Amino acid sequence: MRFVNDGGTLVCTGAGETLRIEAWGKDSLRVRATMFPALNEENWALTEPVQSADAEIEFLTEPWREGDGKIADYPYALIRNGRMSAKVNHAGVVSLFKDGKRILHEQHRSYDGLATRESHCQKTPSRQWIPYIAGDYKLIVRFEPNDGEKLFGMGGYQQPYMDMKGCALDLKQQNSQTTVPFALSSLGYGFLWNNPAVGKVTFGKNMTEWVSDATKQMDYWVTAADTPKEILKNYTDVTGRAPRMPSDAMGFWQCKLRYRTQEEVLSVARRYHKMGVKLDVIVIDFFHWTVQGDWKFDKTYWPDPKAMVDELHSMGIKVMVSVWPSVDRRSENFYEMAQRGLLMRTERGAMQTYDYQGDCVQIDPFNPETRKYVWEKCKQNYADYGIDYFWLDNSEPDLTKYDFDNFRYYAGPAMEVSNLYPQWYSRAYFDEMTKLGKPVVNLLRSGWAGSQKYGNVLWSGDVPSTWESLRDQLQIGLNMGIAGIPWWNTDIGGFMEGNVFDPEFKELLARWYEWAVFEPIMRLHGDREPFTIPQLDERERGGGYLHTGQPNEMWSYGEEMQGIMLKNYELRKSLQPYLEKIFAEASENGSPLMRAMFYEFPEDKTCWELSDQYMFGSDYLVAPVLEAGARERSVYLPAGSWQDIRTQEVACGPARVTAKAPIDSIPVFKRL
């Protein structure tokens, strides 16, 4: 391995590989490698300008036992940027250190005397490049495990585990799964896999293994700090932070599958207004259009969108409309978009990529011409009517089958870049809305590292209405925040399988709603059963033929439920000044609104074990009720004084208390 100091950057070359390590932000290093003649200049998630810093670089030697038993001096290189440093030995194996203590070490099991275990005859290098004929590489990077380490973040995965240690995670976007490949370690470092390729990560007991199924280069970024809050600040320094959330979008959002007509939307808004309930946002869901890809209201059922929006605005309600990235062959835009190369491509077989309610192909948002084309349609048919925000649904994108090797984008093969799709899709709207001076608060089902920059409110997808799912969503919300995404929410009550006449579902809905008071966005949504409402017409296209779920408003579940919802709505309303404060913190330092207990109490070992309670900002400890029939629950209070916001009783921690949980409220304690 040959070492060079290239203006404060360590460059190592050998065996056809170029390895580059450089300072990238405070106490942070970026590590890249390629088997091609040169590295490309894609920064992927590392979009923010960083202060230039020439790292300290040293070239040294160390004694090493060769195969014949002789001792020889072998060269190695050290690079240091503040508290973070890296060592590259003579075989190119990378070790990473925080304050001189090793935190990551590539697992090298090859026959050169470099193994950390006796099994060094396996001939398995730390960075394994598996070539495709005349193409890119499959890349596998392995690290030695750290016993006792806990890992958090990584986005949203439908599972009960908040600690990702021991988990194997697909690195791919799917409905209800969002890949944001940033992990925060209990050992005081953060690790970003800065590669949007489809792949997998395994945080195993015997190794950590990152895989990109198709890539041109390795790219990861590591930072060191004493607390999770400092790690998130370093991470969002280089990937960006959420903009300021408008004050009039912090309250209650009303949504259902689906309002089919202009009059349905207005009647719901008028009733809330008469009740004295302020809707911040009302959402018009899918198939208000003619066919997918027309991006416009079906005039049969939405005859005067501007008049509708004007009336909603007069009640202080912002209007969000759902748009999809799928284009039906029947769309008036399909053939022009296909001819101009604005749609994603298939490598073999039919052009179709999506088959829900039509023969469709998704747009290619990596192509700037596509983004321009789609925005012009949406501006003309939505924004010019006064529509405020967009629900960018199916943003993974949803596919007929997730055969990533069969798809290609303007930016390259889907296997190489797919995880960035939702981010570029959101930018078709963010970039243009920003130019118009509009605040951007767009709802998406998926995102990637850095999506927080683009006005993205992520939600956890089309999840079932079950207690198991409720528990899963809590850990997802906390891990999304740790992965740098502070604007997050769930469908209150879950999206599917909720029967409005079922008392058991009503209990679940109540608990989910009470928890949503303490989510960044409080949005009532769902496809409610039974499906007994007839279609508006029999056409096989347009806004009238698709089904709608049962009503899903505060009054839809009986007087008791309406009372519970109104009571908790008032609680959310009372939090407005506090919400403005913690949304501002997200913009200023990257702190999530929903914070794992260890985020605020990193010195408390118990807090690193908790996944069923959290801090909402720095002041409120929230303990959702996650079991059917529960009317009390155990809550851990860290050191300090804590006041139950319902009874005003004060308890001191550290201690476990049993808190009452009547059907109309969950335990919440304010830090005094």
Whether 396 is a known active-site residue: answer yes
Report in angstroms the alpha-carbon separations of 433 from 200, 314, 387.
35, 22, 11
In whole angstroms, give the CA distance from residue 610 to residue 650.
22
Whether 248 is a known active-site residue: answer no
Residues in the chain, overall count: 672
DSSP structural state of residue 533: P
Report in angstroms the alpha-carbon separations of 57 from 10, 54, 223, 238, 284.
7, 9, 18, 22, 57
Active-site pick, 328, 396, 432, 519? 396
The answer to whether residues 282 and 268 touch, using CB atoms and an 8 Å cutoff, is yes
Report in angstroms the alpha-carbon separations of 320 from 137, 309, 397, 441.
42, 10, 20, 9
315: exposed, middle or buried (Cβ count in 10 Å: 0-12, 13-18, 19+): middle
Question: How far does Cα 642 stand from its chain's mean position?
Answer: 31
In whole angstroms, give the CA distance from residue 584 to residue 587.
5
Report in angstroms the alpha-carbon separations of 195 from 22, 220, 297, 473.
17, 8, 38, 26
The answer to whether residues 279 and 622 touch, using CB atoms and an 8 Å cutoff, is no
Report in angstroms the alpha-carbon separations of 651 from 55, 177, 639.
49, 38, 10
Q: Is 221 helix (H, G, I), strand (E, B) or coil?
A: strand
- Find tokens 């683009």 and name the residue: 454
119: exposed, middle or buried (Cβ count in 10 Å: 0-12, 13-18, 19+): exposed
Whether 66 is a known active-site residue: answer no
Secondary structure in 3-state letters for 392-426: ECCCCCCCCCCCHHHEEECCEEHHHHHHHHHHHHH
CA dihedral angle for residue 85, residue 450, residue 230, residue 616, rounded to 10 degrees: -150
Which are the contacts of 330, defined by CB distance < 8 A and separation ≥ 6? 291, 358, 359, 541
Phi-psi region for residue 466, left (φ > 0), alpha (ψ -120 to 50) or beta? beta
In degrees rounded to 5, what are phi and psi of residue 178? -120, 120
The answer to whether residues 486 and 242 touch, using CB atoms and an 8 Å cutoff, is yes
Active-site pick, 462, 519, 527, 644? 462
- Find tokens 């809305």 and name the residue: 433
Helix-strand-coil percent breakdown of the chain, rounded to 5? 25, 30, 45
In degrees rounded to 5, what are phi and psi of residue 494? 80, 165
N- to C-terminal Cα distance for the chain?
58
One-letter amino acid for residue 393 of the chain:
D
One-letter amino acid for residue 340 of the chain:
R
Active-site pick, 27, 388, 393, 514? 393
Catalytic residues: 393, 396, 462
